[in-house]
Amino acid sequence: MSFASISFIIFLGATLLLYYLVPKRAQWWVLLAASYIFYFAAGSWYLPFIVFTTLSSYAIARLMANNSRRESAYIAENRENMDKDARKAYKAGQKKKRFHILLVGIVLNFGILAVLKYTGFALHNVNALIGVFGGVKLGIPSLILPLGISFYTFQTMGYLIDVYRGKTEAEKNPFRLALFVSFFPQLVQGPISRHSDLASQLYAPHKAEWGNIVPGMIRICWGFFKKLVVADTVMIVIKEIISDTGKYGGAYVLFLIIAYSVEIYADFTGGIDITIGIGEAMGIKIAENFNRPFASTSTKEYWNRWHITMGSWFTDYIFYPLSITKSMQKLSKWSRAHLGNAVGKRVPVYTATIITWFLTGLWHGASWNFIVWGLLNCLVILISQECQPLYNKLNKRFPRLTKSAFWTLYLRAQTFMLMGTIRILDVYRNVPVTFKMLGSIFYDGRGWQSFLSGGMLSLGLDISAFIVVAVGILLMLAVSEISSRGDRPLKNRLADKPLAAFGCMAVLIFAILIFGSYGIGFDASQFIYTQF
């Protein structure tokens, strides 16, 4: 059941109605039932996997919590008989035990993800090696990949690590944990929420309030508009360009970079708008996943604004722990002694950054294009880091220029194009083909000639469809700009005036019905991030 389907709209309406009709203490049971129905409808074979993740994580978290409780009780009982060092040693021993318990949880859950998502990829690579050296190639099994497994596994692992770190309480009720793991609005494409932010809201009673329901509805409509009117329309052009790499080189590839940036932005932020809007309509505040990413003036800033919850997950649970491990610190000391202070200081940071980006790429998909995508992002970030002293000099030497609106615009355009260029690895799904097509921008004169002589209009969209997309882009820019100003989100300001609120929703729905997936010639497709 895709978000962009009539059945989902009916399901959502029924869930919301029931949610506010049942006694408040039973509201979270409605959410749990709805989440499992939603997931069952997506695929009945997916259920055992999410149930296993929930139950194993419940048991692991309880074991860690029991160990912490015993540790506190033991120290309280024996405080007088223990000196500081004995207390420290006892605590360290208990922490080690908890770490081993956590490790079981991590191996179990990441193990499932690894087997289901990466077995085929690993075997393909083994077979490629066998092809080089000779030998019998291995059979590649066709494994089921449960919808949203990357998202719910990461969210649940974040919960376990937070329990281990003492940042959140272990759930006592397994059904409550089941809701946290499976909460349907964010199950298939995130955001990846933290237990300390989301869980208590899921179980709390919520009154039906205008100030939640109406802004939530506006955001849902806005999300559908972005997805069905902008993203799915632009998708037609993208499909056509990648369908014939011989025909569509040169300027078409440059156009593809821009078009895919628009599509993925409208698709992913649209999906997240729907998710957050549903949460808001239920009185639940779900973490924001975007903060005007295309206003970024550097790659580093872009990654603080795009898919924020995934970025912070990798920073908190992979990058930091990895870069401060004892072995990394030892490596740093060794590098300082043998390679000098400047290099030695960089070793842990750079090693952890490269590993983190490799894993970020792998998280997106089991293929080389995603890994290369991750590593290219890493390369750009590290080069920018090294160029920072140069930028500082530039800022000092030309303060008027570097503080001007023109310079900001230039940096935004540069970041947009750079990120867009790396991103088309995701479109061609083939590393050599992507680089060949990028190269064609510089040498494929025929492609340029064809594009400049009106080839854009032979990509499956007529002039009126391009106008619809252009208006959609302008609207997205305007909403993003207006939302960044003022102390309250635009939808909440609209909700203050019932006429404006319903007028806005009516216009959006009308636009979707006329120009979106339900219009002639359009077809609703899955959200891009559901495949990750």
List residues near another protein by CB under 8 A: 88, 165-167, 300, 315-316, 319-321, 323-324, 329, 332-333, 345, 348-349, 352-353, 385, 392
Nearer to another protein, 78 or 329 (CB): 329
Closest distance between another protein and the C-beta of residue 273, in Å?
26
Distance, in Å, from the CA atom of 186 to the CA atom of 83, rounded to the nearest integer, reads: 48
294-299 CB contacts, 8 Å cutoff, 24+ apart? 294/261, 294/265, 294/412, 294/415, 294/416, 295/412, 295/480, 295/484, 296/412, 296/415, 297/408, 297/411, 297/412, 297/415, 298/384, 298/411, 298/415, 299/377, 299/380, 299/381, 299/384, 299/415, 299/418, 299/419
Nearer to another protein, 213 or 381 (CB): 381
Closest distance between another protein and the C-beta of residue 64, in Å?
13
Closest distance between another protein and the C-beta of residue 494, in Å?
30
3-state secondary structure of 441: helix
Nearer to another protein, 98 or 364 (CB): 98
The H-or-E segment that residue 271 falls in is helix 251-281
Token duo for residue 53: 């993740």
Cβ 47 vs Cβ 36: under 8 Å:
yes
Closest distance between another protein and the C-beta of residue 324, in Å?
5
Closest distance between another protein and the C-beta of residue 303, in Å?
10
Cβ 186 vs Cβ 77: under 8 Å:
no
Place of tokens 């002293």: 389
In 10 A of CB 228, how many CB atoms? 25
Nearer to another protein, 313 or 451 (CB): 313
Nearer to another protein, 207 or 326 (CB): 326
**Helix 149-165 vs helix 84-133: crossing angle, to nearest 10:** 160
Closest distance between another protein and the C-beta of residue 165, in Å?
4
Closest distance between another protein and the C-beta of residue 342, in Å?
11
Closest distance between another protein and the C-beta of residue 194, in Å?
12
Residue 149 CA neighbour count, 13 Å, CB half: 26
Nearer to another protein, 311 or 420 (CB): 311
Nearer to another protein, 5 or 196 (CB): 196
Nearer to another protein, 167 or 412 (CB): 167
Q: Residue 526: which of 267, 259, 275 has the closest Cα?
A: 267
